Amino acid sequence: MPYRNEIDLNKYRGGLLAILHPIASDPGYDERRINKLVQKYGRSQGGRFFSRDELIRAYRQFAGKDLPPFDATVIERLRMKPVRSASGVTPVTVLTKPFPCPGECVFCPNDVRMPKSYLSDEPGAQRAEQNAFDPYLQTYSRLRAYFNTGHPTDKIEVIVLGGTWSFYPEAYQIWFVKRIFDALEDFGAGVDRTGEIWAALESASQLHPANNTPQVTIHGAELQHTYNQVVQSIYADEMRRSRELGERLQEQERSLIDEYATWEELEAAHARNEDAPCRCVGLVVETRPDHLSEAEVIRIRRLGCTKVQIGFQSLSDAVLRVNKRGHEVAATRRAVKLLRRAGFQIHAHRMPNLLGAAPEGDLEDYRRLFGDPDFRPDELKIYPCSLIESAELMKFYQRGEWQPYTHEQLLELLTGAFRLTPEYCRLTRVIRDIPGTDIVTGNKTTNFRQLVENALAARGEHSADIRAREVRFRAVDAGTLQLDELWYETSVGREVFLQFIADDREIAGFLRLALPDENAPSFIEELQGAAIIRELHVYGQSLEIGESAPGKAQHSGLGLRLIERAVEIAAAQGYGNLAVISAVGTRGYYRKREFVDGVLYQHRALS
Ligand code: SF4
């Protein structure tokens, strides 16, 4: 049955088959020839051009009946924007609902339709709003969009964004993650409960798009009410409802939109996902450094998380203070240490051009980011500060106390930052993709990464970061790869970054191995005395289970070789146990490699 807004394929069968027949029969069809066919038969359909997702859907439906038998390479030919799943895993980003944030950061947007720091016209935020911020609807619709555009949906990294995760009530957190897992389960099984949820939301929730129409706009220059005050008053009914439900529903039957679930229910959803067709191979949340404690880190792990996005923003106490960040650098050091000791992947956010910052200081800050063992994040987003009308920074701008860096200053700073980034770090984002219409003043160039890479190339240099070196669609001959080891100090011990690289240092796979010091005891009993695999990643286009693509990195046994080398190193360093912070959907993979289940981790005994 067609999903909402989908065309009925049978109605257009003739035109679709005319396009798909030659593509399915001839591997020589490239982008240009496919487009020509689409235009040719679009005209014969009364000017209606078929989209790629319609062609892929039709191919899946008609293959083996009106077309030759199903062949995954035809989907690859039809697929657009393959870059999203090029790292081997398909990312699904979901946003939490609008909710107070403990921060008062002057640079942060105050869009009351959104969770703190997001803007309602950012594409990802729009998707969340259109789905009433419901975790099931967001996950399900994103999976469907990926499936329809030919992306694999068997290995999913779920990224939960919005405000400060650790500030949302625990019942909401458990429910939110459980509903994501429910959507993965249903999507993989071909079950669709989105209609039931929409029906429930329509009558009961203010977050339904038709009901969520707050008229209040915050102007940062004349901040009468804070985001938290406005959000609490606008969504008072919604918040009261979920609070009361939380208290009342513990013993009762719940509806699909009641924001309450128990740990036991979540753990059962986890267990069902372990060998499901649509598996969660990574779960990410974002939070503030001062909201991470030992208990919180354990709780995040219990939810199934493997990575935490954490706002460093600045490594200067003075800059943090004038920006009303609400914590000092010491909190960031503490948070990184806790996360690292628990084996999490650490994805930092860093903002140059904050109030009180200057380009030289920002570059110095960046040097400290990798020079000081207390930081050294695994991934990094660099978001130069842009002025948004709803942010309090407007006041400072109007008083002449803040100015955006010029294009040249920014280019020089970012080029310097790239040059200082070590091989073990991945620069995931360089500029936050804020719509130009939201930026009062500041950088509106979104292809800054390209500009920096050009600037480096002009000097005969190139970025060493992981993203710049990833093998994407290129077939790799595993036999020609070298296993390279990069050892460095961290706040809890030593770290080994194991990477399979080609001659030009292109990277086909890597493993992060933490070797904690004896004098950095773990607050998690099962990690006491253990070396920890914090991440294992092998590149190559994500393939669906059962598909194969000769030569592509994911299927060359690189993962196993990386694990075996980690075992050797850990044993040689005297550890009796190698733990891994596995995602729910990778537990089966590690069990096959001699790891046994612990409480929050899996373990392999070392001889
Ligand atoms: S903690 Fe993050 S979301 Fe909250 S106000 Fe500060 S920047 Fe915004």
pLDDT for residue 231: 83
Max alpha carbon distance in the chain (Å)? Answer: 74
| CA 106 / ligand 1 centre spacing (Å) | 9
Q: Output the CA angle 11-13-19, nearest 5 degrees.
A: 140
C-beta of 163 in contact with ligand 1 (< 6 A):
yes
Query: Can you tell me which residue has the tokens 């394929």?
Result: 9
pLDDT for residue 438: 85
Ligand 1 atom at minimum distance from 313 CA: 7
- CA–CA dist 289, 443 (Å, integer): 27
Q: Output the CA angle 182-586-494, nearest 5 degrees.
A: 130
E strands, 395-461, where? 426-429, 439-441
Q: Give the helix/strand (H/E) hosting 360.
A: helix 359-371
Q: Provide the 3-class DSSP secondary structure of residue 311.
A: strand
The 10 Å Cβ neighbour count of residue 492 is: 25
**What are 271's two structure tokens?**
């267990």
Given ligand 1 and candidates 288, 290, 309, 350, which is best to mutate, with the most ligand atoms within 8 Å of its CB?
288
- CA–CA dist 514, 384 (Å, integer): 31
- CA–CA dist 101, 150 (Å, integer): 37
| CA 118 / ligand 1 centre spacing (Å) | 10
Ligand 1 atom at minimum distance from 115 CA: 3
- CA–CA dist 420, 409 (Å, integer): 17
C-beta of 349 in contact with ligand 1 (< 6 A):
no
CA-proximal residue: ligand 1, atom 3 (nearest):
163
Q: Output the CA angle 427-428-432, nearest 5 degrees.
A: 110
Alpha carbon dihedral 292, 298, 304, 309, in 10-degree steps, equals: 20
For residue 602, what are the β-bridge partners?
A: 580, 597
pLDDT for residue 541: 44
Query: Can you tell me which residue has the tokens 């069809």?
Result: 29
**What are 195's two structure tokens?**
């209609």
CA distances from 11 to 3, 8, 41 (A): 15, 6, 14
| CA 167 / ligand 1 centre spacing (Å) | 11
C-beta of 108 in contact with ligand 1 (< 6 A):
yes
- What residues contact 73, with CB distance under 8 A and at least 6 apart? 27
- CA–CA dist 473, 170 (Å, integer): 41
Give the pLDDT means over successive 10-residue stretches in the chain (607 positions). 61 85 83 77 64 83 87 80 60 95 92 91 90 96 88 92 92 95 96 94 83 76 81 79 68 77 96 96 96 97 98 98 97 98 98 97 97 98 93 95 96 97 96 83 87 94 94 73 96 97 91 92 95 91 41 66 97 97 97 97 95
Angle between helix axes 13-25 and 31-44 (nearest 10 degrees) is: 160
* CA end-to-end distance (rounded Å), the chain: 56
C-beta of 393 in contact with ligand 1 (< 6 A):
no
CA-proximal residue: ligand 1, atom 1 (nearest):
103
Instruction: Describe the chain by its helix, strand, coil percentages, rounded to 5.
Output: 45, 15, 40
Asked if residue 383 lies in contact with residue 439, where contact means CB atoms within 8 angstroms, the answer is no
Report which DSSP code applies to 191: -
Ligand 1 atom at minimum distance from 311 CA: 2
Q: Provide the 3-class DSSP secondary structure of residue 404.
A: coil
C-beta of 153 in contact with ligand 1 (< 6 A):
no
C-beta of 117 in contact with ligand 1 (< 6 A):
yes
pLDDT for residue 2: 43
Asked if residue 291 lies in contact with residue 325, where contact means CB atoms within 8 angstroms, the answer is no
Ligand 1 atom at minimum distance from 104 CA: 5
- CA–CA dist 520, 70 (Å, integer): 54
Q: Is the pTM of this model over 0.75?
A: yes
C-beta of 289 in contact with ligand 1 (< 6 A):
no
| CA 403 / ligand 1 centre spacing (Å) | 21
42-80 exposure pattern, b = at least 16 Cβ within 10 A, e = fewer: eeebeeeebebbbbbbbbbebbeeebeeebeebbebbbb
Q: Provide the 3-class DSSP secondary structure of residue 285.
A: strand
Region of 59 (left: φ > 0; alpha: ψ -120 to 50; beta: rest) is: alpha
Q: Provide the 3-class DSSP secondary structure of residue 209.
A: coil
CA-proximal residue: ligand 1, atom 4 (nearest):
103
C-beta of 100 in contact with ligand 1 (< 6 A):
no
> Among residues 466, 146, 161, which one has the least CA distance to residue 284?
161
Q: Is the dihedral of CA 451, 452, 453, 455 positive or negative?
A: positive
Given ligand 1 and candidates 96, 99, 105, 351, which is best to mutate, with the most ligand atoms within 8 Å of its CB?
105
C-beta of 116 in contact with ligand 1 (< 6 A):
yes
| CA 308 / ligand 1 centre spacing (Å) | 15
C-beta of 288 in contact with ligand 1 (< 6 A):
yes
CA-proximal residue: ligand 1, atom 5 (nearest):
103
C-beta of 313 in contact with ligand 1 (< 6 A):
no
Q: Provide the 3-class DSSP secondary structure of residue 604.
A: strand
Region of 522 (left: φ > 0; alpha: ψ -120 to 50; beta: rest) is: beta
